[in-house]
Chain A
Amino acid sequence: MTAILKTTNLKKYFKIGNNGFLHAVDGVDIELERGTTLGVVGESGCGKSTLGRLVLGLLPATSGEIYYDGVDIMHCGNAELAECRRKTQIIFQDPYSSLNPRMSVYELISEPLVSNKAFRNKAERYARVMELMDTVGLAERFINSYPHEMDGGRRQRVGVARALALKPDFIVCDEPVSALDVSIQAQILNLLMDMQDEMNLTYMFITHDLSVVRHISNEIMVMYLGQCVERSPSKELFRNPAHPYTQALLSAIPAPVLGGFAPEKLLRGEISDPINPEPGCRFAKRCSQCGTNCVGKDVPLEEIEPGHFVACTLFTQKGGMPRNTS
């Protein structure tokens, strides 16, 4: 199978002040196959949302390459880009602020159909909106409702319907369930998985919540300060987390079982400054196993198991065997 999305050494720097650059995304390689889900996990400020916007071409990249279905979207013409944009969509985090409060559900869902001139007459368009509402599980009676009249779960269903309107192949889901309650969150996650099975969709699922991403992803990428520190098939990552940061992230989640809370790998400090970072592992300052090799030069991703990549000096020594993992 060929990759539907491929990026190489993708970078996005934001200019801060006179000579500061905020390294939001710093050299990320993605290869995503059709019909699969890539989970992108990290804490706030790690560049995961910027990455989502870059691959959709919503933000211009500083350098690197993005191929969508073989088309170089950074250098192609407007017509090709427009075609790509039809096939790629995004679902936003907050259904409270991503929907226009002055538009009814019908107007919201038909907006992408209208702006892309997808249907010749109103009756066909109306039929398509009804079909979409049915797909995402919105009752017909909401067709003339406004966003404020609906609860968060239904609003997010409108967001999903909008993304599906033009029959896309690839959807970036940017924290689609973070603003929702657990019982509603489960409804939306199940809906997204059903849509994928039915329409062979490809997802890039951005979230800060490792337990959410576990259910939906085939592959997971853990980001820290703009860089990918670990990439692995989903099951493998939870069975055998290799990077100290991934281990800390996993142990920081309080599980709903009794017992005192004493994470083995409690991280010290906070995420460091993403403006003009020095070369070397960006996690070094918070890492309990930081050695002399960790600073001074960048740490590349290494394959330690088939498909399991880690950027950590613990694994760059001979044969990919860990130097010391307690």
Chain B
Amino acid sequence: MSAMPVLDVKNLEVAYHTDETVMRAVNGISFSIDERETVGLVGETGAGKTTTALAIMRLLPERTGRINRGEIFYKGEDLSKKSADQMRLIRGACISMIFQDPMTSLNPILTVGDQILEALEIHNTDGKPKTALDARVDELLSLVGISPLRKVEYPHQFSGGMKQRIVIAIALACEPLLLIADEPTTALDVTIQAQVLVLMGELKQKLGTSMIMISHDLGVIAKTCDKVAVMYAGEIVEYGSARDIFEGRDHHPYTTGLFRAIPNLLGESRRLYPIDGLMPDPSALPSGCKFHPRCSGRMSGCDGEAPFLFEENGHRIQCNLFRKMAGQ
């Protein structure tokens, strides 16, 4: 394994500027992905998960979205400095993305075969003949478990799960080193979700792709990720290996709250434990720790300065509760 991570995000800050306000969607996050590794971004709506993904792909809305600070290194090259033309060569070939809703991310008036071919043609820099590309389309469809005979059909002729398989085939067409999956199974039924997760697991094994898995579902994250970043209001409040997050002893209060709020299949209790209050407005974020208005363990200093960063064997927690622990 090479020492250089596939992707290294450092202090990334993204904001959406509108006429009236500035929405601070991502506020200084750092994480890195090694080869063959899956990193999960988990959090609720508005935590900045998708914005992070769009910033890496440089697909932020042109007029409003802006990377204010930070660097995104893909194999040592800073993506945030690339021109639009350079990015176009990277997107799809080196980094590709699976979007949440397969119903809207496929073109309804092109056959699925043509849509996979499109990705291959754009990145066909060494001038392979059309027949080779066609063969590759068949190969990709079989890879995701769809008969190549169906490549002449249109998206509406496929069910939701099949459409998501096609989206995966397009994303994998040029054998990218990094795959960003933005809630790839949220729009699917549980039994179909299980099929797609198993498929993605197999493909990851076979192709050795690194992956960013974005989800609000801690179950999906537990089953797919090596490292997990828990996001809240544009910050990574806790970051560590999957073991640290799911089995570790120390947690950020938000992570604890998130786990307690999930309806449990095994527990006996009837009542659930919601986190009081709501996600803060990104145009008026609270000072200090962004979670302090909802936190049950808040102390006098939490609303002032940025929270204490606790670090132990790569497990990072941004919380003042750990200041004492670290001091002893």
Bound: A210/B190 CA distance, A = 10
User: Is B274 touching A183 in the complex (CB atoms < 8 A)?
Assistant: yes
Smallest distance from the beta carbon of B40 to chain A beta carbons, Å? 11
Contact B197 A181 (CB under 8 A): no
B197 x A254 contact (CB < 8 A) = yes
Q: Is the interface of B mostly helix, strand, loop or mixed?
A: helix
Interface membership of B156, Cβ < 8 A: no
A250→B44 CA distance, assembly (Å): 24
Q: Is the CB of B263 within 8 A of A253?
A: no
B272 A215 Cβ-Cβ under 8 A: yes
Residue A240 is within 8 A (CB to CB) of chain B in the complex: no
A186 touching B44 in the complex, CB below 8 Å, given contacts A181-B216, A215-B270, A254-B223: no
Whether A262 and B198, one on each chain, are in contact in the complex, defined by CB atoms closer than 8 angstroms, is: yes
Is B109 on the interface with A (CB-CB < 8 A)? no
Determine if B44 and A181 form an interchain contact, defined as CB atoms under 8 angstroms apart: yes
Cα distance A62–B272 in the bound complex, in angstroms: 39
Q: Scoring A residues 2 to 36 as 1 if CB is less than 8 Å from chain B, else 0, what string do you get?
A: 00000000000000000000000000000000000
Residue of B nearest to A266 (CB): B194
Interface string of B261-297 (1 = CB under 8 A from A): 1111110001111110011000000000000000000
Give CA–CA (A255, B219) in the complex, Å: 5
Contact of B191 among A43, A184, A193, A215 (CB under 8 A): A43
Whole-angstrom CA separation of A274 from B160 in the bound complex: 16
Q: Are A254 and B220 in contact (CB under 8 A)?
A: yes
Instruction: Write out the residue numbers on chain A whose beta carbons fall within 8 Å of the beta carbon of B216.
Output: 181-182
A267 at the interface (CB under 8 A from B): yes
Q: How far is the CA of A49 from the CA of B266 in the complex (A)?
A: 27
Q: List A contacts of B124 (CB < 8 A).
A: none
- Using Cβ atoms and an 8 Å threshold, which residues of chain B touch A214? 263-265
Q: Indicate if the CB atoms of B191 and A267 lie closer than 8 Å.
A: yes
Q: What chain A residues lie within 8 Å of B259 (beta carbons)?
A: 256
In the complex, whether A190 has a CB less than 8 A from a CB of chain B is: yes
Quick one: CB contact mask for A248-261 with B, threshold 8 Å, 1 for yes?
11111111111111
Nearest B residue to A182, CB-CB: B261
Q: How far is the CA of A258 from the CA of B201 in the complex (A)?
A: 14
> Is the CB–CB distance between B190 and A260 below 8 Å?
no
Contact of A211 among B159, B223, B264, B270 (CB under 8 A): B264
- Quick check: which of B89-97, B114-122, B239-247, B320-328 contacts chain A, the rest being far away? B239-247
Please tell me if B257 contacts chain A, counting CB pairs below 8 Å: yes
Contact A270 B270 (CB under 8 A): no
B222 close to A258 (CB less than 8 A): yes
Whether B198 and A261, one on each chain, are in contact in the complex, defined by CB atoms closer than 8 angstroms, is yes
Given contact pairs A181-B216, A193-B270, A258-B222, A252 touches B262 in the complex (Cβ within 8 A)? no
- Option from B193, B201, B222, B272 in Cβ contact (under 8 Å) with A189: B272
Residue A63, interface by CB 8 Å: no
Interface size on A, residues (CB 8 A): 43
B194 close to A267 (CB less than 8 A): yes
Given A182-B44, A193-B270, A253-B265, A261 contacting B189 (CB threshold 8 A): no
How far apart sit A275 and B259, CA to CA, in the bound complex (Å)?
A: 41
Residues of B121-171 whose CB lies within 8 A of A? 159-162
CB within 8 Å of B: which A79-131 residues: none
Whose C-beta in chain A lies nearest to the C-beta of B224? A261
Q: Does A44 contact B (CB under 8 A)?
A: yes
Cα distance, A208 to B190, chains bound together (Å): 8
Which residues of A have CB within 8 Å of B222? 254-259
Cα distance, A43 to B159, chains bound together (Å): 13
* Chain A hits for B201, CB < 8 A: 260-261
Docked complex Cα distance between A83 and B14 (Å):
55
Cα distance A193–B221 in the bound complex, in angstroms: 29
Min CB distance, A52 to chain B, in Å? 18
Q: Quick check: is B195 within 8 A (CB to CB) of the other chain?
A: yes
Known A43-B189, A211-B265, A270-B159; judge A153-B223 contact (CB<8 A): no
Shortest Cβ distance from B246 into chain A, in angstroms?
5
Instruction: A183 to B45: give the CA distance in the assembly, Å.
Output: 11
A187 CB–B CB distance under 8 Å = yes
A189 to B271, CA, bound (A): 8
Interface residues of B in 200-252 (CB under 8 A from A): 201, 216-224, 242-243, 246-247
Q: What are the residues of chain B within 8 A of A193 when measuring CB–CB?
A: 270-271
CB of B67 within 8 A of chain A? no
A123-153 contacts to B (CB < 8 Å): 151-153
Q: Is A238 an interface residue (CB 8 A)?
A: yes
How far is B189's CA from A271's CA once the two chains are assembled, in angstroms? 10
- Given A214-B263, A252-B190, CB of A186 within 8 Å of CB of B274: yes
**A257 engages B246 (CB within 8 Å):** yes
Which residue numbers of B lie inside 8 Å of A, CB to CB? 44-45, 159-162, 189-195, 197-198, 201, 216-224, 242-243, 246-247, 257-259, 261-266, 270-275, 278-279
The 8 closest A-B pairs by CB, nearest first: A254-B219, A261-B223, A186-B274, A186-B272, A252-B194, A256-B218, A43-B189, A183-B275
Given contacts A185-B263, A215-B263, A258-B242, 9 further A-B contacts (CB under 8 A): A181-B44, A182-B216, A184-B278, A185-B272, A209-B190, A210-B265, A254-B223, A256-B219, A261-B198
> Could you give 11 example pairs across A and B, Cβ below 8 Å?
A181-B216, A182-B258, A183-B258, A185-B263, A211-B265, A253-B190, A255-B219, A257-B246, A258-B222, A260-B223, A261-B223
